[in-house]
Structure 1
Amino acid sequence: MDISNQPARRRQGFLRRDGFHLGYAIEGQGAPLLIPGSHIYYPRSFSRYLRQHRTLIFVDHRGFARCDRPLAPRDMQLDTILDDIEALRRHLDLGRCDVLGHSGHGYMALDYARRFPDHVGRVVLVGTGPSQAPAHMQAAQHAWETRAEPERRALLARDLPLMEADIRTAPERRFVWMCLGMAARSWYNPGYDARPLWDGVTTQMPIFDALWGETFAGYPIREALADISAPLLICMGRHDYLVAPAESWAPLLADAPGAQIAVFDRSGHTPQLEEPDAFDKRLLDFLG
């Protein structure tokens, strides 16, 4: 997997908002695709080819942004994150655009489409389980226990003590250490070294703890699917053991009759990087 996806044309900057430096990076050509998360991490995971067909707008949320003040309770709220995304959309004069969210950022993309339907064309979730509620996390664990190969299990057993040591040494980067330490559950290649993806990425752990540990655990997925009017594509990796497997979406899609699901057989949690050709084709076919 090649993460050297640095195109010739690139515009980047920051929006200062409520004490945060919300970074953005704009790359490519064509209709805009808004991608919330980290403007440093996510450009490394999408292909050069995709940038020839779409303008990718990578924007930070507060969990990945530098802050000039102590964190406050409002910083942990999903509504605040959505307001920031909307402020960045206006700041960049994007107009109506498609939105894509990877992993937990899929809930941000979905809820943004719920709250600002006039500003969203289509919605794409990548590596996003229906929620992070106990039942869905148990489904992820069951998939791991029944499908993971012995070599994959052995690598996880090796990596977990290293992850715990890193967390003790630098707890402020616990989110990064957990992502790296769970490689065997995250990637089709269970030994993949994702450290270059995280180089230079800021993390605000209280925000991740609140959103990933609480908000997304109780995310009202049925209500969200019933509320959105935008067409929806859900992209899942066959070997993603971090979130509930693709089939966990099936009972819910009756609430979203226009939703489509795509499963990538040689991918884990990040099919845009693991199977870029297949991913790009499916994405572009959906976006039109």
Structure 2
Amino acid sequence: MDQRGCGFSEKDRPENYTLTQNVEDVEALRQHLGLNKIWSLGHSYGGIVAMSYAVKYEDHLAGLILAATAPSYSFLEKAKKHVEDVGTQEQIAMADRLWEGKFETIEELQEYDRIMAPLYSKAVATLDTRATPPKRPTIKRNVEAINKGFGDFLRTYDVREELNDLHVPTLILAGYHDWITSCSESEEMNALIPNSELHILANSSHNLFSDENTLSNQLMKDFLNKHTN
């Protein structure tokens, strides 16, 4: 599902762009569709929503797939250090705008995507600069939602204490070269969630579904077959 105000979801007042509201939106959709137990797949911030949903609504959950995500705000300081260590001055400046939640226009967000793409994707980082850049699907972005997350609630987000009480099957996928949600975040999730399985994709960064599409799909297929048959 697209988060409130993003993708094909309708825009809302900025004060409603919160993690708490995103979790309740998932539950409202489950009820609306008349579903009993659902599987939840969350990538990046979607993984944060999925874990937060699991903590509150585990009884309605059959299992979790968490990809390139983190269990707490600790990922922020690690990401800041990473970009300061390996990023260009342009990338460091763009990352600062993200941390501060100070994007003002969609065009600034698109410029962020362009400049930061080599950090998010191993495939983009190794792309011949003379080649035609890979096409991305057109998606609706939301400046207010991103600013609200990084400038506000992600700074205090933390479900680490609750993860030990989860008992649904959980697959955790991480990109070895991920700059923003480092492998250590996934390793911590794996240690905290009792019935979890971790795979670190050696040739992936944050965008692991595109960096190693065949492998990530196979890992998810195998995991689902194991826990749904």
In 1: Cα distance, 2:135 partner to 2:79 partner:
24
Tell me, yes or no, if structure 1 residue 273 matches structure 2 residue 215.
Answer: no
Tell me, yes or no, if structure 1 residue 60 matches structure 2 residue 8.
Answer: no
- Residue 33 of structure 2: aligned partner: 92
In 1: Cα distance, 2:76 partner to 2:29 partner:
32
In 2: Cα distance, 1:207 partner to 1:145 partner:
25
Cα distance change of structure 1 residues 141 and 118 upon mapping to structure 2, 3 Å threshold: same
- Residue 201 of structure 2: aligned partner: 264
Following superposition of structure 1 onto structure 2, how do residues 61-210 of structure 1 map, counting pairs within 5 Å? 61-64=3-6, 65-67=9-11, 71-73=13-15, 75-131=16-72, 133=73, 135-143=74-82, 153=87, 156=88, 171-189=105-123, 190=125, 193=133, 196-197=136-137, 199=138, 201-210=139-148
Deviation per CA, 1:77-129: give whole Å up to 9, x if none: 22221222222223333332210111111110111122222221111111113
Q: Is the 8 A contact 2:103 2:143 kept in 1?
A: no
Larger strand percent:
1
- Residue 228 of structure 1: aligned partner: 166
Higher relative contact order (CA 8 A, sep 6+): 2
Deviation per CA, 1:7-48: give whole Å up to 9, x if none: xxxxxxxxxxxxxxxxxxxxxxxxxxxxxxxxxxxxxxxxxx
**Structure 1: 5+ residue stretches without partners:** 1-58
Q: Is the 8 A contact 1:186 1:241 kept in 2?
A: yes
Cα distance change of structure 1 residues 158 and 215 upon mapping to structure 2, 3 Å threshold: closer
C-alpha RMSD of the superposition: 3.1
In 2: Cα distance, 1:250 partner to 1:139 partner:
14
In 1: Cα distance, 2:104 partner to 2:32 partner:
35
Q: 1:278 Cα deviation (Å)?
A: 0.9
Tell me, yes or no, if structure 1 residue 239 matches structure 2 residue 180.
Answer: no
Q: Is the 8 A contact 2:104 2:143 kept in 1?
A: no
Other structure's SS at 1:116 match:
helix
**Structure 2: 5+ residue stretches without partners:** 97-101, 128-132
Paired residue type of 1:209: N
Other structure's SS at 2:79 match:
helix
Q: Is the 8 A contact 1:173 1:205 kept in 2?
A: no
Q: 1:143 Cα deviation (Å)?
A: 4.6
In 1: Cα distance, 2:164 partner to 2:79 partner:
24
In 1: Cα distance, 2:94 partner to 2:126 partner:
14
- Residue 255 of structure 1: aligned partner: 192
Q: TM-score, normalised by structure 1?
A: 0.63
Deviation per CA, 1:219-256: give whole Å up to 9, x if none: 1131241243322222111121122x213443454432
Q: 1:179 Cα deviation (Å)?
A: 3.0
Paired residue type of 1:280: N
